[in-house]
Amino acid sequence: MVKKIVSFVFFANYFVGLLAVALSLETMFQLGLPFNAVPYYILIFCATVFYYTIAYSIPPGSTFSSNPRTEWYRTHYRFTRVSQYVLFTICAGIAGWLLIRDFNKLLHLPVANWLLILSIPTAAILYYGLLPKSIISFNLRHTGWLKAFVIGFVWAGFVNVFPITMLRIEQDIVVHEPIFMFWLFIKNWMFCTVNAIMFDMKDYADDANIQLKTFAVRMGLGNTIVYVLVPLSLIGLLSFLAFAYFRHLSGPSIILNMLPFVCLLSVAFALQKPKSVLFYLIVIDGLLLLKAICGIAGSFFTLH
């Protein structure tokens, strides 16, 4: 029973939806801002689960797969299909309601805001190649080394830019120190990018067979850790320290926020040995939850 529950939560991407909410809350805590309205968090949870499930929609007639995640989707095809309809309906309903309610406020957003918030869903759509082939035949998921940066960019935008933009629309609250946002965005971008590269290491053998030139395929597992994961983690860490400097964070807050980066590198070095799919879903994705928890906890020690 426990195994079924764990598989349901992690394979069905509900944990990823929880991460989107947790990281969005972390942003508000770290910037000292009020929360968004509850419907917004329901929207991002459902949108995240729906989006991540698209790649695993397996037809019921497919043959048995040795990948436990793929096999879970094959055997739960009917549930997945119904779930996707429900999630899409909720997303469309909330998004439509927000659009009607805040239409005038949306029209008055600065052009820079519009360019930024449109770039994020555009990258997410191009990642899966969801546009009709007659419009553009492009799939960022097949670009090898670039795809991890795209994933990191979308996640950073989703949990940093979107909540703050929505707060501006809902409560007319504007962040007047964009330098805070810049360093916070870079920190999250690098953290999520490293997380995505670690997932590519899981698919090292399969990617090599189809000649998808990810970092792990191009450089090998050991070199990827030393020459890619470590530098990107350091960039993210330095970005956080810059944010901490401008934000005047206290010592305990800085230490708490540095902890996820230490854990990130520790897990990265452990990936040189084969791990199960659930290890990646629980431990590596769990690093994002740890990051959110540490960021929220650290905000209580911030010197205002």
Render 157-216 in DSSP notation, one character per residue.
IIIIIHHHHHHHHHH------HHHHHHHHHHHHHHHHHHHHHHHHHTHHHHHHTT---HH
Q: What is the pLDDT of residue 298?
A: 92
Phi then psi for 274, rounded to 5 degrees? -60, 140
**Highest mean pLDDT: which range of 49-63, 146-160, 267-281:** 146-160
Which of 5-14, 92-101, 282-291 is the least confident region?
5-14
> CB 82: neighbour CB atoms within 10 A?
10
pLDDT of 145 > 70? The answer is no
| Nearest of 253, 206, 247 to residue 65 by alpha carbon | 206
Retrieve residue 261's tokens. 């980066």
Q: What is the pLDDT of residue 112?
A: 83
Q: How far apart are CA 249 and CA 299, in angstroms?
A: 8
Whether 74 and 65 have beta carbons less than 8 Å apart is answered as yes
Whether 87 and 68 have beta carbons less than 8 Å apart is answered as no
| Nearest of 229, 96, 239 to residue 156 by alpha carbon | 239
**pLDDT tier for residue 220 given thresholds of 50, 70 and 90:** confident
Q: How many helical (H) and strand (E) elements, i.e. helices and strands, does the chain have?
A: 17, 0
Q: What is the pLDDT of residue 246?
A: 85
pLDDT of 182 > 80? The answer is yes
Q: What is the pLDDT of residue 201?
A: 74
Q: What is the CA radius of gyration of the chain?
A: 20
Q: What is the mean pLDDT of residues 289-294?
A: 95
Read off the amino acid at residue 165. T
| Nearest of 263, 255, 264 to residue 295 by alpha carbon | 255
Q: What is the mean pLDDT of residues 35-46?
A: 96
Read off the amino acid at residue 236. G
Retrieve residue 19's tokens. 């991460």
Residue 19's Cα: distance from chain center in Å? 8
Q: How far apart are CA 262 and CA 163, in angstroms?
A: 27
Read off the amino acid at residue 173. I
Q: Which 3 state secondary structure label does DSSP give 90?
A: helix
Q: Residues 90, 96, 98, 100: what is their CA dihedral angle, to the nearest 10 degrees?
A: -160
Q: How far apart are CA 53 and CA 13, in angstroms?
A: 7
DSSP per position, 205-267: HHHHHTT---HHHHH-HHHHIIIIIHHHHHHHHHHHHHHHHHHT--HHHHHHHHHHHHHHHHH
285's CB contacts (< 8 A; 6+ apart) are 10, 15, 16, 19, 195
Q: What is the pLDDT of residue 199?
A: 78
Which of 76-80, 116-120, 136-140 is the least confident region?
136-140
pLDDT of 304 > 50? The answer is no
Entry pTM: 0.88
